[in-house]
Amino acid sequence: MNVGIGARVKRKEDKRFITGKGKYTDDVRVENQAYAAFVRSPHAHAKVKGIDKSAALAMEGVIDVLDGGQLTGDGIGNIICGWAVTSKDGSPMNMGPWSALATDRVRYVGDAVAVVIAESQALARIAAEAVEVEYEVLPAVASAAKALAAGAPQVHDNAPGNLIFDWEIGDAAATDAALAGAAHVTEISLTNNRLSPNPMEPRSAVAIYDAAEEHYTLYTTSQNPHVARLVLSAFYNVAPEHKLRVIAPDVGGGFGSKIYIYPEEITCLWASMKTGHSVKWTGDRAEAFMTDAHGRDHVSTARIGFDANNRITGFKVDTIANFGAYMSLFSSAVPTYLYATLLSGQYDIANIHANVRAVYTNTVPVDAYRGAGRPEACYLVERIMETAARELGVDPAELRRINFIRAFPHQTPVIMNYDIGDFEANLDQAMAAADVAGFAARKAEAAGRGKLRGLGYSSYIEACGIAPSAAVGSLGAGVGLWESAEVRVNPVGTIEILTGSHSHGQGHETTFAQIVAERFGLPIENVAIVHGDTDKVQFGMGTYGSRSGAVGMSAIVKAMDKVEAKVKKIAAHVLEASEDDIVIEGGEVKVAGTDKAMGWHEVGLAAYTAHNLPPEMEPGLKESAFYDPANFTFPAGTYICEVEVDPETGTVEIVQFTASDDFGTIINPMIVEGQVHGGIAQGVGQALLEQVVYDDDAQLITGSFMDYAMPRADDLPSYNVNHASTICPNNPLGMKGCGEAGAIGSPPAVINAITDAIGNNNLAMPATPLAVWKAIQAAG
Amino acid sequence: MTEVTMTVNGRKVRRDVPDETLLSEFLRESLRLTGTHVGCDTTQCGACVVHVNGAAVKSCSALAVALDGAEVTTIEGLAPNGELHPMQKAFNDNHGLQCGFCTPGMIMTSVDMVEKAKAAGKTLTEAEIRHGLEGNICRCTGYHNIVKAVAQAAQEM
């Protein structure tokens, strides 16, 4: 059975999950375990005047109640944003202080003020209710636009007017001139709705302090345990790196929200040292809604100009991005380098200018959520293209075709250099698969049943394979974004791959094993993937930004290159042949054109017995590599959504959703299609159902699955997923990444389809039945 | 504290637990059967579904002390002899799981759905499968492959 590149291998990791044997952080139980419960602000903005712990401390089984004064007094550092963005006037971004436990002021509902450590989880929670915090309530603001208005409540003293930065990219004068001279200008104003990532596993932490060794262990729900260790050590002063082990075991989904290091993990580590107990915290869903970093929340206006031949001449964008109450780890990069740099879309646009203002509000911090900036860019570009097509009276597919970039590499005016793609191939494939030719007949048939049928396109592009370290460094990133791998060949020939990537649903234990099995002709069962433990894997940057394939697997390939070179040297020596004549095939290491061969396991054994190695060669067979990508990768494609709207109720049914993606080389189509399905579901969720709601006092209204509409099985269609690939020239496997495409590409396709159906372009996400019904009424 | 006796995955168990102990806590903490997961606090997500006296129940919404004498099957008890249940196999065959967190509840709900349909002599349609999964939230798969898995297992069960 073929298990190599391109094979639909069933997942190796499934067995433990389908039999209930997965090991997630909340499943961990250790000696001397105590439980943490956080005392959280019920107010969106308040001064903390005093904390009375006495009632809680008096409860039997309560070990301690700790507050922000104690935490900062012990030297625990403020939580930081790791990406410096500079305003257009040259001033640095205004980062306000964020202590893991608030000291004098709380800035959003859910901001942690104190922590109770008790002998049981139930008791910790009851005791947390008994901690009396005296607040002086201050005026609060939830909307970014309102936060910028004169007289708005000030979230941080060092950010006047709540402005974090006012940043721009591109040539403003040239873009203005292009728009002034355009034959047609289309304008649009839209909101990219605020979302809660909601991985099904709530965040959790188990912190263990070993006083004798002054050593900490943290089990946590992390997409990037090494990054967690780095920032916990270097910035939050919890412990030096060699005294801190971070383990991210099975993790139940992330979607970005488990990249960041939150107050709870920091506090559990510190509290484990402070109390002498191991400390466990597992958030409930209500805590997830009020503490996990939210996503999106942009308000934008845009103008796009066309010449008389319907070619784009200029594109100008103004965006306000809501950052919430504090700057989360990667927050500043999302509406800048992951957003404005993708505003060229799939189109040849000579002049682009974008201005982005980042704003504090009294809401949960906002950071990367599946797609991170790129969905916001795609939504703007693809909504304005569809709108322009309607205004110009041009078929929307044709308007895209006229403007597609067709020569590569292509330098956009907003930093990105697209390496390769064939956008028309994806459009053609999607149109054929969606039977666009038959749409008019289907629309007429639906009309006969009293239904409004609509078709919407979205031709998306994203920058993935995050990211070339020097490039992101020049843009302000505080870290490099390479990946590492180690290939350990055991004396019996089995292989362990240690990777800095982290799987929380992506299937690395299968796909990573596939590339190794193919390379050395071994059964996939002989390859084990080790990840998620800083004591096992030396370093890694983790999994986000669709980087595990293009960056993580590239590191494995580099390490395998080194293993192969050593294997060939050993075999050439033992078989008395030239190294150039050695080939590795089907689990054997052979001299080409002869019957001389060694089994793969015999080479492994030879490397470790070291009885007969070439002169000067070190024993053993273990190689490592760090891979730093030369460029971003650029997955792209076209999605076509077809909907039926019930004009009486405003209910939308997605009757067909068709995808054509270009992900470059695909290792396991089954897993890649699963990533697309899940991404589309999240995008459809954004388009039709999901919205974090705050009231005018910045109280969180959507605090549970009763209030926040998650997509369920009967809300969604089956998906028609297709691939038309170009091979990425910038990494050894030719991969581009597939994790975020669905979430990036699908929202505009859905809204373009509904607005097509109802004949009113003015429709915001989420397009609930009420919103759609109102839009139908407004259209008359 | 109240003494509770149950038969869990065919094994008789007896524990003293606080009256407010939920069945999900009883399974996870008292019996250390951590395959049953808790993904919300409002009985919405279905990650905690187990079978109580032969029917699917959200274990986060049942008190352990109210189930004295009950027969409970968790995900760990679905393959008692090590041979996968057709539903477990179908989830693997169809890539019906990614992060795995919702999977135990999905499988237990799906087994109950198919068994009820079989008992009624019905063949489940795609729409009925989707409706039957309405109480279980998955954030990873978009449900496409879960629906396929349930349809396959319905053929094999």
Give the CATH number, domain containing residue B13.
3.10.20.30
CB contact under 8 A, B142 and A284: no
Closest-CA residue of chain B to A203: B39
B90 and B124 within one domain: yes
Q: What separation in angstroms does the CA of A429 have from each of A389, A399, A432?
A: 21, 17, 5
Identify whether A175 is part of a domain: no
Per the omega criterion (within 30 degrees of 0), is the bond before A467 cis? yes
What is the radius of gyration, based on Cα positions, of chain B? 15
- Sort strands B2-8 and B11-17 into parallel, antiparallel or unpaired: antiparallel
Q: Can you tell me the distance from the alpha carbon of A407 to that of A399, in angstroms, rounded to the nearest whole number?
A: 18
Chains A, B: CB contacts within 8 A come to: 178
CATH code assigned at A750: 3.30.365.10
Per the omega criterion (within 30 degrees of 0), is the bond before B80 cis? no
Among A609, A627, A645, residue at a domain's last position: A627
Q: What is the pLDDT of residues A472-524, one digit of tens each?
A: 999 999 999 999 999 999 999 999 999 999 999 999 999 999 999 999 999 99
Closest-CA residue of chain A to B145: A674
CB contact under 8 A, B75 and A674: no
Residues in chain A: 780
Q: Please give the tally of structural domains in chain A.
A: 3
Q: Can you tell me the distance from the alpha carbon of A333 to that of B131, in angstroms, rounded to the nearest whole number?
A: 40
Q: What's the gap in Å between the CA of A716 and the closest CA on chain B?
A: 8
Q: Can you tell me the distance from the alpha carbon of A88 to that of A241, in angstroms, rounded to the nearest whole number?
A: 36
CB contact under 8 A, B33 and A20: yes
B69 and B11 within one domain: yes
Q: What's the gap in Å between the CA of A757 and the closest CA on chain B?
A: 24
pTM for this prediction = 0.97
Q: Give the closest of B33, B36, B133 to A713, CB-based.
A: B133
pLDDT at A1: 64
Beta bridge partners of A38: A115
Amino acid at A585: E
∠ at Cα A360 (A220, A112), nearest 5°? 40
Asked if this assembly's ipTM is beyond 0.90, the reply is yes
Identify whether A208 is part of a domain: yes
Q: Does A569 touch chain B (CB under 8 A)?
A: no
Per the omega criterion (within 30 degrees of 0), is the bond before A635 cis? no
Identify whether A161 is part of a domain: no
- Spatial CA neighbour of A57 closest among A114, A99, A105: A114
The per-residue DSSP string of A279-330 comes to EEEE--HHHHHHHSPBB--EEEEEEEEE-TTS-EEEEEEEEEEEEESS--TT
Residues in chain B: 157
pLDDT at A591: 97
H or E element at residue A643:
strand A636-645
Q: Does A132 touch chain B (CB under 8 A)?
A: no
Amino acid at A36: A
Q: Can you tell me the distance from the alpha carbon of A429 to that of A452, in angstroms, rounded to the nearest whole number?
A: 25
Q: Please give the tally of structural domains in chain B.
A: 2
Chain A contacts in chain B segment 91-130 (CB below 8 A): 91-93, 95, 97-104, 107, 126-127, 129-130
B34 and B67 within one domain: yes
- Other C-beta atoms closer than 10 Å to the C-beta of A115 total 30
| DSSP H helices in A693-762 | 741-758
Residues in chain A predicted with pLDDT less than 70, given as ranges, are 1
Q: Give the closest of A505, A679, A716 to B99, CB-based.
A: A505
Residues of B in contact with A548 (CB under 8 A): none
CATH code assigned at A59: 3.90.1170.50
Residue with tokens 């302000």: A476
Q: Give the closest of A504, A705, A716 to B143, CB-based.
A: A716
Q: What is the pLDDT of residues B54-105, one digit of tens each?
A: 999 999 999 999 999 999 999 999 998 889 999 999 999 999 999 999 999 9
pLDDT at A2: 86
Among A588, A609, A627, residue at a domain's last position: A627
Mutate to test the interface with B, among A10, A18, A716 (most CBs of B within 10 A): A18
Structure tokens at A264: 């709870």
Closest-CA residue of chain B to A704: B42
B102 and B70 within one domain: no
Residues of B in contact with A18 (CB under 8 A): 75, 84, 88, 91-92, 97, 100, 103, 107
B90 and B122 within one domain: yes
Q: Burial-class residue A410 by CB neighbours within 10 Å (0-12, 13-18, 19+).
A: middle
Residues of A in contact with B141 (CB under 8 A): 674, 677-678, 681
B47 and B93 within one domain: no
Residues of B in contact with A19 (CB under 8 A): 35, 75-76, 78-79, 84, 88
B73 and B9 within one domain: yes
- State which residues form the domain around B95: 86-156
Amino acid at A227: V
Q: Does A250 touch chain B (CB under 8 A)?
A: yes
Q: What separation in angstroms does the CA of B10 have from each of B72, B80, B138?
A: 8, 9, 29
Q: Does A742 touch chain B (CB under 8 A)?
A: yes
Q: Does A49 touch chain B (CB under 8 A)?
A: no
pLDDT at B134: 96
A639 and A593 within one domain: no
Among B46, B78, B110, residue at a domain's last position: B78
Residues whose CB falls within 8 Å of the CB of residue B82, separated by 6 or more in sequence, listed in order: none
Chain B contacts in chain A segment 190-249 (CB below 8 A): 198-202
Among B37, B56, B78, residue at a domain's last position: B78
CB A462 within 8 A of CB A744: yes
CB B95 within 8 A of CB B89: no
Q: Does B66 touch chain A (CB under 8 A)?
A: no
Q: Can you tell me the distance from the alpha carbon of A418 to that of A404, in angstroms, rounded to the nearest whole number?
A: 12
A655 and A548 within one domain: no
Q: Burial-class residue A262 by CB neighbours within 10 Å (0-12, 13-18, 19+).
A: buried
- State which residues form the domain around A657: 298-466+631-779
B151 and B108 within one domain: yes
Q: Can you tell me the distance from the alpha carbon of B90 to that of A326, in angstroms, rounded to the nearest whole number?
A: 45
- Spatial CA neighbour of B36 closest among A574, A611, A20: A20
A320 and A240 within one domain: no
